[in-house]
């Protein structure tokens, strides 16, 4: 990242790009969540093994101050995701309009990377650290953080770090798709925090699964186009994302099955 010092928090680029920062953060995150997670009762374990969705333990009643903090947190991520999608999606659309398809898809010459992707990729990577607050909120409410939640956040930090560090063009897929879904998702959370009961949670899960399936398919396609990935690190970035997104997709499908029922179509 040639001009990282000009980016927001760019003075910390070396710190966040050093491999120990994402790896240790993800490891500590997993260990702390494992230690602080409320224990699942014996009854809940039996119900869970039956294949049915266990009843959630009643959440602690939130104070107005805590609720205001949650709304603010979700608003920050909703706005950031929307701005990221608008800018990165727009840059990629202009890229395809101004160049032939394969040059645009592979970003040959690094045109999009230099102009937009390194900037928004960097900010999106940093946002994955901030999103850990999602889990903190769950624990503060007295709820249990699922393995899906833990795997999702820890894996996002690692994969975005590696792709950003090695200027891997396919991270545009993660940035564009995920920012779009997160814009809708965090807006949904804002409404629920304000006491509304918006419909469509099932379809939000469906959209998340769909982004994983389409996204990893696009990312893997980079491996089969000549001169699309010009470094071994770029190829390893795709492999790393595949090793994260494929199991994540199955975890989301399992969540959807347990939450909405076997007959519920989620994709």
Provide the annotated active-site residues. 152
Residue with tokens 């975005």: 160
Residue 14: Cβ within 10 Å count:
11
From residue 133, alpha-carbon distances to 8, 164, 255 in Å are 20, 22, 21
Contacts of 74 (CB under 8 A, 6+ apart): 186, 187, 189, 190, 193
Determine the 3-state secondary structure of 172 from DSSP: helix
Between CA 151 and CA 155, with CA 154 as vertex, the angle to 5 degrees is 75
Q: Which distant-in-sequence residues (6+ apart) come within 8 Å of 220 by Cβ?
A: 238, 242
From residue 165, give the alpha-carbon distance in Å to each of 28, 221, 237.
21, 21, 10
Token pair listed for 125? 């990577």
What is the 3-state composition of the chain as percent helix, strand, coil, each rounded to the nearest 5?
75, 0, 25
């Amino acid at each position: 990242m040639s001009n990282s010092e000009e980016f927001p928090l760019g003075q910390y680029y070396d710190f966040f790009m050093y491999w120990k920062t994402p790896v240790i953060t993800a490891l500590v995150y997993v260990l702390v969540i494992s230690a602080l997670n409320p224990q699942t009762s014996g009854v809940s374990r039996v119900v869970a093994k039956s294949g049915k969705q266990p009843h959630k333990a009643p959440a602690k009643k939130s104070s107005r101050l805590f609720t205001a903090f949650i709304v603010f947190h979700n608003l920050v991520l909703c706005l950031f995701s929307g701005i990221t999608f608008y800018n990165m999606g727009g840059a990629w659309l202009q890229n395809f309009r101004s160049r032939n398809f394969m040059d645009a898809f592979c970003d040959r010459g690094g045109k999009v990377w230099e102009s937009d992707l390194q900037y928004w990729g960097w900010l999106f990577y940093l946002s994955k650290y901030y999103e850990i607050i999602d889990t903190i909120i769950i624990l503060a409410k007295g709820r249990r953080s699922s393995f899906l939640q833990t795997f999702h956040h820890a894996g996002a930090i690692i994969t975005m770090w590696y792709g950003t560090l090695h200027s891997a063009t396919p991270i545009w897929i993660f940035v564009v798709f995920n920012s779009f879904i997160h814009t809708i998702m965090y807006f949904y959370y804002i409404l629920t925090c304000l006491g509304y009961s918006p419909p469509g949670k099932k379809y939000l899960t469906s959209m998340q699964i769909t982004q994983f399936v389409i996204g990893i398919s696009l990312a893997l396609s980079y491996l089969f186009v000549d001169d699309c990935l010009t470094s071994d690190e770029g190829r390893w970035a795709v492999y790393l994302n595949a090793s994260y997104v494929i199991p994540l997709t199955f975890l989301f499908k399992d969540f959807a099955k347990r939450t909405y029922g076997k007959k519920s179509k989620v994709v």
